């Protein structure tokens, strides 16, 4: 995406005033949320996310340090900040799950984070920010990525966790999503043992961020609940499902038969993909 920023002074009838104008190039395509999630497309999502972070890491700017964003609530580096908002779930049984996930983050992820590889994260690689277009074979290919406003200094595994979480939202078999997305990611950036071991919990952390902040926003803007709960409403069910299954069972699905090619997966649509 090309962004052109300019400032200009003009008289609009109220004297000469200065305005900031931002122009964005149009990207053709439709959001991935509107097409069937084939294993090949999910593989491509993981691959694109990894390639994107590699490119972002090469970015050079005198104010790059602004992306550190130590108090940014949506950064997976800052999961403990959710503790200040869990009151928004008072009365909801999922509150205890969210509290437990935050505690596990502090005890299981933070001590291992020294082994995570740093990069710049897009930070919001969701189904409404990924554009696709049909190819000549009738399948879909990724044609663009939108909305870089949540960029932050983070880690490669954070981007993968975010991509998996959002691809789960509209899929009829959410747990199965992690496998092709991870395979696509690892075709570019293979996970190290610490990153792989923390991936399950990081996906849960993203679900918790979505749920807690949605509920908090609804308290502030109750008239806008339908929009604010768009992701969280489905995410609540998936968070519970992942938590109840547990790390071991989920990882059996995500990491089974590692090392095999994507070919046999790519040609098959996961059961229910067409039932949107």
Burial 60-98 (b: 16+ CB within 10 A, else e): eeeeeeebebeebebbbbbbebbeebbebbeeeebbebb
CA atoms within 13 A on the CB side of 145: 22
Element (H, E) at 4: strand 3-11
Distance from CA of residue 171 to its chain's centroid? 15
- Name the token pair of 107: 């005890």
d(CA 73, CA 80): 9
Q: Which residues of the chain have pLDDT under 50?
A: 1, 259-276
What integer pLDDT is reported at residue 264 of this predicted model? 38
What integer pLDDT is reported at residue 158 of this predicted model? 98
What integer pLDDT is reported at residue 64 of this predicted model? 93
How do the domains of the chain map onto residue ranges?
28-257
Tell me: the pLDDT tens digits for 103-117?
A: 999 999 999 999 999
What integer pLDDT is reported at residue 25 of this predicted model? 84
What integer pLDDT is reported at residue 22 of this predicted model? 78
Say which of 53, 60, 92, 124 is annotated catalytic.
124
124 is catalytic: yes
pTM of the model: 0.86
CATH number at 28-257: 3.90.1200.10
């Amino acid at each position: 995406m090309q962004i052109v920023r300019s400032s200009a002074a003009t008289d609009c009838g109220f004297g000469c005033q200065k305005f900031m104008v931002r122009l964005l190039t149009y990207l053709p395509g439709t959001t991935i949320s509107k097409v069937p999630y084939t294993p090949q497309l999910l593989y491509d999502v993981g691959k694109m996310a990894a390639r994107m972070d590699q490119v972002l890491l090469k970015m050079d700017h005198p104010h790059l340090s602004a992306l550190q964003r130590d108090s940014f609530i949506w950064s997976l580096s800052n999961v403990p900040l959710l503790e200040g908002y869990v009151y928004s779930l008072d009365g909801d049984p999922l509150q205890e799950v969210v509290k437990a996930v935050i505690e596990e983050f502090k005890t299981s992820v933070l001590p291992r984070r020294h082994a995570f590889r740093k990069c710049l994260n897009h930070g919001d690689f969701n189904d409404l920010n990924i554009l696709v277009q049909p190819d000549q074979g009738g399948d879909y290919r990724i044609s663009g990525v939108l909305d870089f406003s949540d960029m932050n200094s983070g880690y490669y595994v954070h981007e993968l966790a975010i991509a998996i979480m959002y691809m789960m939202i509209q899929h009829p078999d959410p747990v199965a999503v992690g496998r092709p997305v991870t395979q696509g990611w690892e075709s570019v950036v293979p996970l190290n043992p610490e990153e792989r071991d923390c991936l399950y919990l990081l996906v849960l952390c993203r679900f918790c961020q979505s749920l807690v902040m949605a509920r908090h926003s609804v308290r502030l803007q109750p008239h806008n609940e339908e929009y604010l709960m768009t992701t969280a409403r489905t995410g609540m069910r998936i968070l519970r499902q992942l938590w109840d299954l547990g790390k071991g069972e989920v990882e059996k699905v995500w990491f089974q038969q590692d090392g095999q090619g994507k070919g046999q997966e790519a040609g098959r649509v996961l059961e229910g993909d067409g039932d949107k």
